[in-house]
Amino acid sequence: MTVVIGFEGSANKIGIGIVRDGEVLSNPRRTYITPPGQGFLPSETAKHHRSVILTVLQEALDEAGLKPADVDCVAYTKGPGMGAPLVIVALVARTVAQLWEKPLVGVNHCIGHIEMGRLVTGARNPTVLYVSGGNTQISNDPSPGYNIEQMAKKGKQYVELPYTVKGMDVSFSGILSYIEEVAHKMLSSGQCSAEDLCFSLQETVFSMLVEITERAMAHCGSQEVLIVGGVGCNLRLQEMMGVMCEERGAQLFATDERFCIDNGAMIAQAGWEMFRVGQTTELADSWITQRYRTDEVDVAWRD
């Protein structure tokens, strides 16, 4: 039986998870939360991660009931993500791997989300929609996406926003520019409420995502959709995607906040897959890559 410990810290969450042959043994994490409106800076986020990572590591081992000798491999997030937090996680993972005399595996963050989603849901060969929260300056407690989702539930009036889809590409810049230009005017004049704007934002953006997902399914002949990433927790997105899948006779797979939000177990699971096919990272190559594209990964463990 293969046991892998995974270190994740590409953004404002630091998590360490342990996986044994498809079973999540532990998955503790911490979130760096700043005052509303400030967002989180890389340097400050890195300081947070550095201050708690050893505590989280001990929690992961204690919850799993394991000792370092029981671990077969150490996996860490190589990228993409914020530079300073990634460096902290990579440094600790490298140190642990050397102290425990274990092989090291650098994991693509996005691949981690996908492999965790496949493990938890049982999806076999899905079309994957990876929707990440990203970094904003809205309100980080508990997360911007969650706050928008809750406000959107109270919205009743749809405000028409720019809708830009070109093939498989979407553009959100027009939406942001439009809201920045007209939001204050519409709110002050009583034309709509903040809840209406959140509702309209969700409906527009999610409609764009559903459209391109359905187009991808049609091109690939797929009958499965897997939603991963932090925004994948959004129930309205899952509902809209579910309607599309039902109309196509397809099946929707999604996870809850335990696994769709950044966590260490997803890095452990992807690392487990890589380690099992002989993919490891030499110490000299264990740097971080902020812009680590998903299509740069050699997915040798899948047909």
Q: What share of the chain is helix, strand, coil (3-state, %, to 5)?
A: 50, 15, 35
3-state secondary structure (DSSP) of residue 226: strand
pTM > 0.85 = yes
Q: How far is CA 256 from the centre of its chain?
A: 12
The candidate with the shortest Cα–Cα distance to 205, out of 183, 184, 236, 243, is 236
| Residue located via tokens 């498809």 | 22
Q: Is the bond into 36 cis (omega within 30 degrees of 0)?
A: no
CA–CA distance, 254 with 128 (Å, rounded to integer): 10
CA–CA distance, 3 with 64 (Å, rounded to integer): 11
- pLDDT for the residue numbered 142: 64
Domains of the chain: 3-121+262-277 (3.30.420.40), 133-254 (3.30.420.40)
Q: For 63-80, give one letter per residue: b (16+ CB within 10 A) or e.
A: ebebeeeebebbbbbbbb
- pLDDT for the residue numbered 141: 66
Residue pLDDT tens, the chain, 303 long = 999 999 999 999 999 999 999 999 999 999 998 877 777 889 999 999 999 999 999 999 999 999 999 999 999 999 999 999 999 999 999 999 999 999 999 999 999 999 999 999 999 999 999 998 665 445 766 667 788 899 999 999 999 999 999 999 999 888 888 888 888 899 999 999 999 999 999 999 999 999 999 999 999 999 999 999 989 989 999 999 999 999 999 999 999 889 999 999 999 999 999 999 999 999 999 999 999 999 999 999 998
- pLDDT for the residue numbered 26: 98
Taking a C-beta distance cutoff of 8 angstroms, is the pair 140, 34 a contact? yes
- pLDDT for the residue numbered 57: 98
